[in-house]
Chains A and B, each alone.
Chain A
Amino acid sequence: MIIFWILAGITLFGIIGYLLQIAAVRSYTAPLHSGESMRFPRSFSPVSILKPLKGLDDGLFDNLESFCNLDYPAYELIFALQNRNDPAYKVVGKIKDKYPLKDITIVVEHCNEGLNPKVNNLIPAYARAKYDLILISDSNVRVEADYLGEISRHMEDPSVGLVSNLIRGMSGRSLGAVMENLHLNSFIVGSVCFLDKYLKMPCVIGKSMLMRKTELEAIGGFRSVKDFLAEDYIIGERIHRLGKRVVLSSHLINNINEYWGIKRFVNRHTRWGKLRWQIGGAKYISELAGNAVFISFMPLVLMPISWLSLLLAATVSALKIAHDYYIGKKLCADMNPLLYLLSPIKDLIIGVAWFVPILSSTVAWRGNRYIIGKDSLLSPYPEKGRAVRGPRIVTAIRTRLAWSKT
């Protein structure tokens, strides 16, 4: 019974976390509903938008097209690919043909300076950027016409070094995509808002990062982060250390996830978990404690099933469904309300996936395999077969425990 009450106590901690997340999200989404987000900058500095591309993201054509219809007087679009055989090359060609008057450059250049394939795409794109303001934007986001005007107004303040955005998962049509969007619209958005509001930690989401060339070059440019998986976090952290503010804009951008499989959903969050484990160390444990649904189901696994443990799991699941539904409404995530019933299942999957980063430091990303080290520093994956896997796991645990002590 002691185990039950310990787990119930941890569950309560998670529920308090949910409430704090709601408060944090409310404070960021308030401008959306008050119309404050419609304020435009007084001056419109021209912007170079860098779009690293690899493969076909869901709704790629519409995602890219949304950047051709921005309500902003001066900007250029630079689409960067590693080779012409990439299926995205055909799509950007069509976009360029459809918008001949837009300032669009397609850069096809094989660059393998670093281990991070996104940064490898950004290096040649950056070399062609004309303007001082640089916006890095992922290929799986879709934006509204006022997006650039809204985020660039923050850069009028010289103390601001980087502007990032909240993301909202949209358009899920398969089970994996729905789970992905549920997770983005609850845990990810909630955590980002929570960390930014209460802990004042610079939270940078790499899907949208606006910065000046001067600051980017002051931290060593893209080449300085070419071997980091979490290049967005490192850039934000270094700009913060320069004494500049890292701002989280309340302007929501849409992350389009339509046809994901469950495997892809699990893979992505295992990868992101590994990243947070390597960056956050012991703080990563709070994520499990904060997963109230998973903890509330633990008594059902660890103890004989009782009405009390069933009641705990059912109550917490209902609360989590309500929590996710509320945040979803706040974010204006266009999702069928019935799909929120999947939220507890998603949290159970995430709870199981939480353990993977502790056991493995290998990541597979965009067709490449790496070993991930401290601060998400990548090193090539040694292809030596299964025999070395066991000792490597032990080494990984030892290394992480050593870091946690420092």
Chain B
Amino acid sequence: MLLCDFHIHTTYSDGSVELRRTIDLFGQAGFDVIAITDHAVNGDNPVGKLAHRFKYSITAANFGQYMAHIREEAERALDKYGMLVIPGIEITKNHLTTDNSAHMLIIDIKDFIPACISYEEIFLEAKKQNALTIACHPHYMSAKSDRDTLFLWNNRDKYARYIDAWEIANRDDVFNVISLKKYPYIANSDFHKPRHLYSWKTLLNCTKDTDAVKQCIKHNKGVALTLFRN
């Protein structure tokens, strides 16, 4: 089984560890597959504007540099640790109310997707790029209600068909509503700090290449969850 984490932030957005050290942290811990998913924040409201102002967001301007850096590090990670690194972003639609906020991972992204376009456009663009779309922390999180992002879950009847998988577990939280609905799922750390390494993770029973990993998540067969603790 491949030990995987598909939700990792670096100093390209609001993570505290730079990309190279993040790769080393996961490589040193024996991970097989990770995805780097820094925030791409919507800049159409004051919250998003602040994120752009303080460079806590991937933008069209720095996306090329971000991708080149990930590719370079991915090569090193494969050579040194035998670890597959997949580029991604976390589309971050932050609004003042949690009901209107939504975050989603775009895994194996090729071209930049802005967060300010509509949900339908984002999903279609992701499909066009053959990227995976994952709804992250879609439900109420423990003691972090100010960070809840409920829009996709509240509108699941409309959007579930576009979403390849849902985060059933994020860091220390588990959202059992996802399994009750029988949606495809994965578990991630939402890594921002070194201590977040120890959190919920996904185990995949597939070969270690990007297409096989995406297929495994999409079909949700051979997927298991593990609470990674030291």
Chain A residues with a Cβ under 8 A of chain B = 55-56, 58-62, 87-88, 90-91, 93-94, 97-98, 173-174, 258-259, 261
In the bound assembly, the distance between CA atoms of A55 and B195 in angstroms comes to: 14
Whole-angstrom distance between the Cβ of A90 and the nearest chain B Cβ: 4
Known contacts: A87-B230, A94-B81. The answer to whether A56 contacts B194 by CB under 8 A is: no
Contacts of B82 in A (CB 8 A): 94, 97-98
- Contact, CB under 8 Å: A174 / B81: no
- Contact, CB under 8 Å: B28 / A259: no
- Cβ of B30 within 8 Å of any chain A Cβ, yes or no, is yes
Give the residue name and chain of the B residue nearest to A60 (CB).
Answer: B28
- Contact, CB under 8 Å: A91 / B29: yes
In the bound assembly, the distance between CA atoms of A60 and B228 in angstroms comes to: 16
Contacts of A58 in B (CB 8 A): 28
- Contact, CB under 8 Å: A87 / B28: no
Give the residue name and chain of the B residue nearest to A256 (CB).
Answer: B28
Whole-angstrom distance between the Cβ of B225 and the nearest chain A Cβ: 14
- The residue from A61, A88, A90 contacting B3, defined by CB atoms under 8 A apart: A90
Interface centre among A55, A94, A97 (most CB of B within 10 A): A94
- Cβ of B88 within 8 Å of any chain A Cβ, yes or no, is no
- Cβ of B138 within 8 Å of any chain A Cβ, yes or no, is no
- Cβ of B87 within 8 Å of any chain A Cβ, yes or no, is no
In the bound assembly, the distance between CA atoms of A90 and B230 in angstroms comes to: 12
- The residue from B81, B194, B195, B228 contacting A61, defined by CB atoms under 8 A apart: B81
- Contact, CB under 8 Å: A56 / B230: yes
Q: Could you write out 6 A-B pairs with CB less than 8 Å apart?
A: A56-B28, A56-B29, A61-B28, A61-B30, A87-B229, A259-B194
Whole-angstrom distance between the Cβ of A178 and the nearest chain B Cβ: 14
- Contact, CB under 8 Å: B29 / A87: yes
Known contacts: A87-B230, A174-B194. The answer to whether A94 contacts B30 by CB under 8 A is: yes
Known contacts: A174-B194, A259-B194. The answer to whether A62 contacts B28 by CB under 8 A is: yes
- The residue from A60, A93, A98, A173 contacting B29, defined by CB atoms under 8 A apart: A60
Range of interface residues on chain B? Answer: 10 to 19
Give the residue name and chain of the A residue nearest to B80 (CB).
Answer: A61
Contacts of A87 in B (CB 8 A): 29-30, 228-230
Known contacts: A94-B81, A94-B82, A97-B82. The answer to whether A59 contacts B3 by CB under 8 A is: no
- Cβ of B184 within 8 Å of any chain A Cβ, yes or no, is no
In the bound assembly, the distance between CA atoms of A87 and B24 in angstroms comes to: 16
Within 8 A of A (CB), among B110-127: none
In the bound assembly, the distance between CA atoms of A309 and B28 in angstroms comes to: 48
- Contact, CB under 8 Å: B230 / A55: yes
Within 8 A of A (CB), among B189-230: 194-195, 228-230
Contacts of B43 in A (CB 8 A): none
- Cβ of B27 within 8 Å of any chain A Cβ, yes or no, is yes
Contacts of B81 in A (CB 8 A): 61, 94
In the bound assembly, the distance between CA atoms of A259 and B29 in angstroms comes to: 13
Contacts of A90 in B (CB 8 A): 3, 29-30
| Given A59-B28, A91-B28, 11 other A-B residues pairs in contact with their CB atoms under 8 A | A59-B24, A61-B29, A62-B28, A87-B230, A90-B30, A91-B29, A91-B30, A93-B30, A94-B81, A173-B21, A258-B194
Give the residue name and chain of the B residue nearest to A62 (CB).
Answer: B28
In the bound assembly, the distance between CA atoms of A87 and B81 in angstroms comes to: 15
Known contacts: A90-B3, A98-B82, A174-B194. The answer to whether A61 contacts B27 by CB under 8 A is: yes
Whole-angstrom distance between the Cβ of A368 and the nearest chain B Cβ: 15
Give the residue name and chain of the A residue nearest to B82 (CB).
Answer: A94
In the bound assembly, the distance between CA atoms of A318 and B3 in angstroms comes to: 48
Contacts of A97 in B (CB 8 A): 82
Contacts of A60 in B (CB 8 A): 28-30
In the bound assembly, the distance between CA atoms of A283 and B27 in angstroms comes to: 44
Whole-angstrom distance between the Cβ of A139 and the nearest chain B Cβ: 12
Contacts of A98 in B (CB 8 A): 82
Of all A-B residue pairs in the complex, the 6 with the closest CB atoms, nearest first, are: A90-B30, A91-B30, A259-B194, A61-B28, A55-B230, A56-B230
Interface centre among B29, B30, B81, B82 (most CB of A within 10 A): B30
Contacts of B228 in A (CB 8 A): 87
Give the residue name and chain of the B residue nearest to A63 (CB).
Answer: B28
Within 8 A of A (CB), among B30-59: 30
Give the residue name and chain of the B residue nearest to A260 (CB).
Answer: B194
In the bound assembly, the distance between CA atoms of A329 and B192 in angstroms comes to: 34
In the bound assembly, the distance between CA atoms of A93 and B83 in angstroms comes to: 13
Whole-angstrom distance between the Cβ of A170 and the nearest chain B Cβ: 14
Whole-angstrom distance between the Cβ of B184 and the nearest chain A Cβ: 25
In the bound assembly, the distance between CA atoms of A94 and B29 in angstroms comes to: 10
In the bound assembly, the distance between CA atoms of A145 and B184 in angstroms comes to: 48
Contacts of B195 in A (CB 8 A): 259, 261
Whole-angstrom distance between the Cβ of A63 and the nearest chain B Cβ: 8
Whole-angstrom distance between the Cβ of A62 and the nearest chain B Cβ: 6
Whole-angstrom distance between the Cβ of A259 and the nearest chain B Cβ: 4
In the bound assembly, the distance between CA atoms of A94 and B230 in angstroms comes to: 18
In the bound assembly, the distance between CA atoms of A275 and B23 in angstroms comes to: 37
Contacts of B230 in A (CB 8 A): 55-56, 87
In the bound assembly, the distance between CA atoms of A88 and B27 in angstroms comes to: 12
Whole-angstrom distance between the Cβ of A383 and the nearest chain B Cβ: 22
What is the 8 Å Cβ interface bit string for chain B, positions 63-102, against chain A (1 contact, 0 not)? Answer: 0000000000000000001100000000000000000000
Interface centre among B3, B81, B82 (most CB of A within 10 A): B81
In the bound assembly, the distance between CA atoms of A90 and B29 in angstroms comes to: 8
In the bound assembly, the distance between CA atoms of A98 and B195 in angstroms comes to: 27
Contacts of A56 in B (CB 8 A): 28-30, 230
In the bound assembly, the distance between CA atoms of A90 and B3 in angstroms comes to: 9
Contacts of B28 in A (CB 8 A): 56, 58-62, 91
In the bound assembly, the distance between CA atoms of A37 and B109 in angstroms comes to: 52
In the bound assembly, the distance between CA atoms of A173 and B125 in angstroms comes to: 39
Whole-angstrom distance between the Cβ of B81 and the nearest chain A Cβ: 6
Interface centre among A87, A97, A98, A261 (most CB of B within 10 A): A87
